[in-house]
Amino acid sequence: MTDTDITTTAGTDWAAWQQSWDRQQEWYMPDREERFRIMLDMVEALVGPAPRVLDLACGTGSITARLFARFPGATSTGVDLDPALLAIAEGTFADDDRVSFVTADLKDPDWRAKLPYDSYDAVLTRSAR
Ligand SMILES: C[S@@+](CC[C@H](N)C(=O)[O-])C[C@H]1O[C@@H](n2cnc3c(N)ncnc32)[C@H](O)[C@@H]1O
């Protein structure tokens, strides 16, 4: 193995991975952004502009990204089981202490034990499959 064979995440273009994921998901669901917007409208109406959110089946953290863009005072926990998507999420939000990501299978009856908080203001998800 040479130095150039070493795999590293340093310098990875996480924004490009996010854009690639968004493009792929929008092919399946063209009104995805509108759904995100309505979700956050509901959150703001019900619990205000600084919610603690549980982003279930978070994938790359798409909901959390929209949440922070709109509500900078929000906090989030993302839960997913896919290591590749979680790597993109963790890379994207590496320096952001408003969010943490949890690897868990929602089919496991004990998945909630892995969460950092006992309660959330809102539980958001978009297509958990
Ligand atoms: C279509 S993607 C949606 C991701 C993200 N919410 C978004 O809008 O881009 C579905 C996600 O559900 C996750 N998922 C499916 N089954 C799951 C399970 N049993 N436990 C945790 N995550 C699961 C997948 O890993 C994937 O990230």
Based on the number of CB atoms within 10 Å of its own CB, is 59 exposed (0-12), middle (13-18) or buried (19 or more)? buried
Tell me the two tokens of residue 30.
Answer: 């063209």
Name residue 44's amino acid: E
Domain ranges of the chain: 14-125
Q: Which residues line ligand 1 (CB under 6 A)?
A: 25, 57-59, 62-63, 80-82, 85, 105-107, 126-129
Condensed to tens digits (0 to 9), the pLDDT of residues 46-105 reads: 999 999 999 999 999 999 999 999 999 999 999 999 999 999 999 999 999 999 999 999
Q: How far is the CA of 26 from the centre of ligand 1 (A)?
A: 15
- The domain defined by 14-125 folds into Rossmann fold (3.40.50)
pLDDT digits (tens, 9 = 90+) for 12-41: 899 999 999 999 999 999 999 999 999 999
